[in-house]
Amino acid sequence: MSQLSAELNQSIRWAFSLGKKLLRAAPAHTISVQIIFILSQVLLLLAFFLPLKAIIIVSSGSIPSYFPGIIKAYSHNTVVIWLSASALIFFTSHLVFELFASKVTANGARLLISKAKKIALFDNQDSIAINAYSRFTRGLADLLFFIIAGIALCIFYPLIFILIAACSVFFSAAISILCGYSKRLQKIVKTHYQEILNSASGFIFLVTFFGVIADFLYFTPPPAFTALISLLLVRQSLQRLVGFCVKLILLRQQHYQVSALFFHDRPLLVAPSQKPENIHALLSNEQRNLWIPEILKPLFQNEFSIESVKSFQLGSPDIYCYEAHCTSNGIKQNFIIKLYDTLREYPASQERSLLTEFPEILSPKLLRSGQVRSCTYHILESSNEQKMSGREYYNRSLKFHAALMSLTPPNIFQKKFERSKSYLESRLSSEMLRELTFHAVSDEEQQNVNSLLESFDTIKQWLRQSPRQLISFDVTPDTLLIDDNDKLSCVHWGNWHLEPLGANWPVGEHQKLGEALEQAAITRAGSSFSLEAAKLASFMYLFERFMNKRDYQSALNLIPEIILCTKTAEGVNGTY
């Protein structure tokens, strides 16, 4: 049995136990929803059939003989109008039934939650419960409609029933067998299940249609009226079958939350993280001893040996880092190898883009990048750098940020960033301050918010005129390194930004910010530097962070310093 078949079996058993629970806890709601949904589908079927019948009568110019005498008593045009109006009435009734079913579903979900007698488990609990209950009841109604339609077809048009059953069995067996042989195909089926189900439904309908045509051409078919109704029923029942499968899959994807909501003895469990198969295989000792020499080989012209491979703590999820010590012709060379999970392609591309387009960056040299089993890897040069901790790390990290301020981003690199992301001044909006007014309780806080609002455009103009600097969000005790010559470098650049000069600088270290600006003015000739504008950038960067974290009190406490800094900047440099 393939893994896909095993998962399908598990899903069906879980859905069966969920169904028993829902029927016991809310029988009236669950059963009534089934009846309403099935009636709704019957009304929809009639709404689709009657327009076709009206067109047939219009094209034939007469009322068919099999119509009841009471209908044939009316004129041709009257019958067509009544059929068209009936289609509209049936479709409107279908929508009313759907709306009524949604209300019954919501009430049933709330009843189930109240009977479970549990504390609130997570945000949007009622919404998730209603959606889950709705999916289950609708899915069950879809399945019941398909079964009823199958029974009707078996009675009135057995050929169609046989074709549908044969095609369904064929598709199920083919997908199960193929997925058992190919993990890649299994992944495709899991990812694109809805498209595959819709395609299979369309193919089965075409096979059924061709079967009906062949029956009319070469065999003894039923009346045309029966065939037409049967084809409409086939199309709708196949759609309902697809709907049942999709709803079951979506429910299964939330089964930890759904089980915790509706079952007394099921606590809320965190779903285990699903690691891709390829990254799992690469992390084993056997595989690591194969792929590491393979990716290092192009870096050597002669034979080389790997003396040791050690794990390098990077502190980033799903990014695995190793330090490799190699020897070739008696010369020792060290490398840092970073392996990115397939789900972490974004930081990999961010780092690769920065290290290749910004050559002055304070990082070990990127020697090689590529992919091994669909996982991206980067190989960096290592020169016996060491990590730091405690006070040494804090002081050195300030020096590192100061060194970043001394770097001038290349124009091409800066323009590419501008087309992709926004600067600090673009992210600051007056909506932030309007939101903050709801949390400003005292008169002083209200006055401060109003003062900041008056100066907001001026502040944004200051930031807009400031030179740009590179900011790294990955500078940690695990990533900041120092070599024997006291040269600092960062080993990870998966998350970076360009911001106004001074952004991300600690607001409590503005004295050192002045020293950093003096050094930056030496290396970045031609740029205008303002200490007050840099301070303002650090304040506003922290203000934005507080607002994004919903730390409104800290944001309010920061406003007086922002206003003072703005006034000082205007006094020193004038206003815009």
DSSP state at residue 284 = S
Per-residue pLDDT tens listing for the chain (576 residues)? 456 667 777 878 888 888 888 888 888 988 999 999 999 999 998 998 888 888 888 887 777 766 777 777 778 788 889 989 999 999 999 999 999 998 998 888 788 777 765 545 555 676 777 788 888 888 999 999 999 999 999 999 999 999 999 999 999 888 888 887 877 788 888 888 899 999 999 999 999 999 999 999 999 899 888 898 899 899 999 999 999 999 988 888 887 777 776 665 555 445 555 555 567 778 888 899 999 999 999 999 999 999 999 999 998 888 999 999 999 998 999 999 999 998 889 999 999 999 998 988 999 999 999 999 889 999 999 988 999 988 899 999 999 999 999 999 988 888 888 888 999 999 999 899 999 999 999 999 999 999 999 999 999 999 999 999 999 999 999 999 999 888 999 999 999 999 999 999 999 999 899 899 988 888 887 677 889 999 999 999 999 999 999 999 999 999 999 999 998 887 665 554
Q: Say how far apart CA 451 and CA 445 lie, in whole Å.
A: 10
Secondary structure of 477-524 as H, E, C letters: CCCEEECCCCCEEECCCCCEEEEECCCCCCHHHHHHHHHHHHHHHHHC
> What angle in degrees, to the nearest 10, is found between the helix axes of 3-25 and 183-191?
30
Distance CA 356, CA 493 (A): 12
Q: What are phi and psi of 220, to 5 degrees?
A: -105, 100
Q: What pTM was computed for the model?
A: 0.64
Give strand pairing partners of 321: 338
Residue corresponding to tokens 């091409």: 412
Strands 480-482 and 488-490: antiparallel
Q: How far apart are CA 404 and CA 427, in angstroms?
A: 22
77-100 b/e with 16+ CB inside 10 Å = b?
A: eebbeebbebbeebbebbeebbee
Residue 117 has what pLDDT? Answer: 58
* Structure-token pair, residue 282: 């690469």
Tokens of 78: 């009257």
Dihedral pair phi/psi, residue 286, rounded to 5°: -60, -50
222 DSSP assignment: -
Asked if residues 335 and 381 have their Cβ atoms less than 8 Å apart, the reply is yes
The pLDDT of residue 1 is 47
Q: How many CA atoms lie within 13 A of 78 on its CB side?
A: 6
The Cβ-side half-sphere exposure at 109, using a 13 Å CA radius, reads: 21
Phi-psi region of 363 (alpha: psi -120 to 50; beta: other; left: phi over 0): beta
pLDDT at 276: 54
